Amino acid sequence: MFKFYKIKRFSLIELIIVIAILGILAAIVIPNIRDIQGKSRITAIVSDVRNLQTSVDMYQLENYGEYPVVGEEQPSIGLPKQLSFDKLYPKYIRNLPKNEGLYYWVDYSGKVWFSTIDSPKNIEKSDTEISWENIDNAVSYSVYEVENNNLTGSIGNIKEKHLATIIGTENYTPEDYNKDKTYLVSAIDVNGFETAPVGMGYKGISMFMENQQEPIIPVTPTPPFIKNYGGSGSDTFQSIERTNDGGYVAVGSSKSSDGDLTENKGSSDFVIAKFDGNGNKVWIKNYGGSGLDYFYSVQETSDGGYVAVGYSYSPDGDLTGNKGSNDFVIAKFDSDGNKVWIKNYGGSDGDYFNSVQETSDGGYVAVGFSQSSDGDLTENKGCYDFVIAKFDSDGNKVWIKNYGGSNYDYFHSVQETSDGGYVAVGFSQSSDGDLTRNKGENDFVIAKFDSNGNKVWIKNYGGSSTDYFYSVQETSDGGYVAVGYSLSSDRDLTENKGSSDFVIAKFDGNGNKMWIKNYGGSNYDYFNSVQETSDGGYVAVGYSNSPNGDLSGNKGGNDFIIAKFSEEGELYED
């Protein structure tokens, strides 16, 4: 039997109090919900763009240096082009960006920019100032001066010097203003997204969908020396190592046939260069064939020479035939940079090496990624596979093995371990095959292989966003330390500090997570390399755009970063 109770009615005063309390709660909760939703959207945008940037880089690698833009004309300084999703989807990007209302550009260096507003138009240079057309919803504008504009095509040669942030006006007179100089102007929206910097002649773009990462304008503090070398084409270094004589060896690519380079072999050439301890050129040498040839990693070898890896599209010149698309390349040079041998391997699709190390038996181990399922590769697992390869001292293939799942799987770094096997790190988008369930988007990956390249284990960690490892070292306790960056704030990560955070992680000998820690500020922070120190801690290097948080101010643009951690991954204080 139901019982009925008499309900007491509210008095008018009590009702007013209840309504007031509800109003206060709404005023507190609703903005917080909107703030959370806004931050989530920005995080998703930045994550999407990082994947988009990867796809643009892959397109460039496989299309003779061209970028995926609308139309046939390529970007130039001050005249970025509209990004073409038609050229990227579905081969280079699996899913189109989900967030609408964002403009996309690709600049002359291949960098993807995004914003909710278009770049400034109708830029003019009078005898006294720079002016531009007002952009609706622009919070501020940034003005840059292009330095070394007599050089073409290389982000390493052409510097964009930030001059000023302008609020409330559409004109500016720089110090040492010269009408003949090249100036660029960008606009910043309410979210802090910066449009591509543009110059005179920019007409605007019509299509808009979404985003970029943060603006990368390299204005760095002056180290003991900064020196530039090259020719009239595009010249880029990708890897450097300290040599036993106190100097440096560096590798990359070049399109130059003059200046510090000899005759170009075709398109972009492999480059290896030696410098003394003060950065003075000892020699710079280029090799290759008629296609695209790139080096990505170098190491000094025990005989005083050098080994380098990368990829090549060339079938001739210093290469012996092409296996199809881009081939893995491993090359050996003597102490004077003379070619001992250059050898290429792979299948009918794209094959890329990112890292190499000389092994204790006098051979070499290399890692990277591959889309091939034939030739020197076995059946592809789906999209790009992890690749680990072993070569003898003459560069002959001992074995090449591929692992992964149905999506993108890349290795970035490898080290021989004390048991004669190998440890490698990178990232993965896969949830199947050799991977367990994906944590979100791109997961950290650490993998162990025996001396024959057989998988011991492959493990993935991370959060719901993008997580990359770029470097790994075996530690004295038989475990491993790895560094990279993360946009995640959940699961294996703690609260994200802003955009992309520095990450340092420790694993036991079986790849089980001991700890993963993230540091940084409100902008993007990346670690690229790590070493264990004599006190049992770790030192890591990279770069940062953050002025706050775990950073003490920003010197301008991207800053060099060196960080010292305890054995437990805690930051040492000054």
Note down the domain range covering 548. Answer: 404-574
- Which residues have a Cβ under 8 Å from the Cβ of 411 and sit 6 or more positions away? 354, 355, 367, 368, 369, 386, 387, 388, 424, 425, 426, 445, 447
Query: For 21-25, 299-303, 494-498, 499-503, which range has the lowest pLDDT when averaged over its residues?
Result: 21-25
Q: Please, which pLDDT band fits residue 541 given cuts at 50, 70 and 90? A: confident
Average pLDDT of span 445-472: 93
Query: For 148-157, 339-348, 535-544, which range has the lowest pLDDT when averaged over its residues?
Result: 148-157
Predicted confidence (pLDDT) at residue 208 exceeds the cutoff of 50: no
Token couple for 278? 């003060």
| Structural domain includes residue 21 | no
- Looking at the fold, whether 194 and 264 belong to one and the same domain comes out as no
- Looking at the fold, whether 353 and 409 belong to one and the same domain comes out as no
CA dist 215 and 194 (Å) reads: 6
- Looking at the fold, whether 263 and 353 belong to one and the same domain comes out as yes
* pLDDT for position 11: 65
CA dist 529 and 540 (Å) reads: 6
Preceding peptide of 120 cis, ω within 30°: no
- Looking at the fold, whether 200 and 250 belong to one and the same domain comes out as no
* pLDDT for position 523: 83
Average pLDDT of span 284-292: 91
Average pLDDT of span 383-411: 94
Q: What is the CATH number of the domain that holds 76?
A: 2.60.40.10
| Structural domain includes residue 215 | no
| Structural domain includes residue 220 | no
- Looking at the fold, whether 186 and 309 belong to one and the same domain comes out as no
| Pair 106, 52: CB distance under 8 Å | no
* pLDDT for position 573: 57
Predicted confidence (pLDDT) at residue 31 exceeds the cutoff of 50: no
Token couple for 147? 């330095």
Q: Please, which pLDDT band fits residue 559 given cuts at 50, 70 and 90? A: confident
* pLDDT for position 47: 63
Domains in the chain: how many in total? 3
Average pLDDT of span 439-447: 89
Collapse the DSSP code of 17 into the 3-class scheme (helix H, G, I; strand E, B; otherwise coil) and give the result: helix
Token couple for 489? 């704030």
| Structural domain includes residue 287 | yes
Residue 38 φ then ψ, to 5°? -65, -45
Predicted confidence (pLDDT) at residue 216 exceeds the cutoff of 70: no
CA dist 428 and 431 (Å) reads: 9
* Residue at a domain's end among 359, 392, 415: 359
Q: How many CB atoms lie within 10 A of CB 464?
A: 18
Evaluate if pTM is beyond 0.75: no
* pLDDT for position 166: 81
* Residue at a domain's end among 333, 359, 385: 359
| Structural domain includes residue 372 | no
- Which residues have a Cβ under 8 Å from the Cβ of 210 and sit 6 or more positions away? 45, 48, 49, 97, 99, 100, 101, 102, 104, 114
| Structural domain includes residue 369 | no
- Looking at the fold, whether 138 and 203 belong to one and the same domain comes out as yes
* pLDDT for position 445: 95
CA dist 108 and 80 (Å) reads: 6
Average pLDDT of span 266-282: 87
- Which residues have a Cβ under 8 Å from the Cβ of 444 and sit 6 or more positions away? 425, 427, 460, 461, 462, 467, 468, 469, 482, 484, 486, 492, 503, 505, 516
- Looking at the fold, whether 313 and 349 belong to one and the same domain comes out as yes
- Looking at the fold, whether 54 and 192 belong to one and the same domain comes out as yes
| Structural domain includes residue 129 | yes
- Looking at the fold, whether 559 and 447 belong to one and the same domain comes out as yes
- Looking at the fold, whether 195 and 250 belong to one and the same domain comes out as no
- Looking at the fold, whether 350 and 257 belong to one and the same domain comes out as yes
Token couple for 268? 């972009």
Could you tell me what percentage of the chain is helix, strand and coil, using 3-state DSSP and rounding each to the nearest 5? 10, 35, 55
Which residue did the predictor score with more confidence, 169 or 64?
A: 169
* pLDDT for position 78: 87
Highest mean pLDDT among 23-37, 503-517, 535-549, 553-567: 503-517
**How big is the chain by its Cα radius of gyration, in Å?**
26
Of the candidates 197, 196, 214, the residue with the CA atom closest to the CA atom of residue 521: 214
- Looking at the fold, whether 252 and 348 belong to one and the same domain comes out as yes
Tens of pLDDT along 412-438? 999 999 999 999 999 999 988 888 888
| Structural domain includes residue 379 | no
CA dist 369 and 384 (Å) reads: 6
* Residue at a domain's end among 359, 381, 416: 359
Mean pLDDT of the chain: 82
Which residue did the predictor score with more confidence, 234 or 122?
A: 122
